[in-house]
């Protein structure tokens, strides 16, 4: 989600879901390792696995990793619905624009 016009804290939110807390941890760690290797270390880490939501802040990009249930509860897509967004879905499908 391109939130830069709506928020001063970041330009982009990346939202993703995991089936369980273990998978959520693996996703967050992989994202953090890849970003760090590319020269973008996390400046902040928030959330606990048992909460169903962890956040990795890379400055301009903030990555939210949810369990599927918590993603529905927080519904950031609805909260920031004015933000342009791409839905990447499964890796093999590629990006599609979010419906208005």
For the chain, which residues make up each domain, given as ranges?
12-97
Q: Are 53 and 65 in contact (CB under 8 A)?
A: yes
Q: Quick one: pLDDT band at residue 91, thresholds 50, 70, 90?
A: low
| Token pair 């990795």: residue | 56
* pTM, 2 dp: 0.81
Assign a CATH topology to domain 12-97: Beta Polymerase; domain 2 (3.30.460)
Q: What percent of the chain is modeled with pLDDT above 70?
A: 88
Whether pLDDT at 92 is above 80: no
């Amino acid at each position: 989600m391109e939130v830069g016009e709506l928020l001063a804290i970041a330009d982009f939110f990346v939202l993703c879901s995991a089936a369980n807390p273990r998978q959520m941890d693996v996703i967050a760690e992989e994202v953090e390792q890849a970003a760090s290797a590319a020269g973008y270390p996390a400046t902040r880490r928030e959330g606990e696995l048992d909460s169903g939501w962890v956040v990795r802040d890379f400055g301009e990009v903030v990555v939210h990793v949810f369990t599927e249930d918590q993603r529905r509860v927080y519904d950031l897509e609805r909260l920031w619905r004015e933000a342009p967004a791409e839905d990447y879905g499964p890796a093999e499908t590629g990006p599609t624009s979010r419906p208005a």
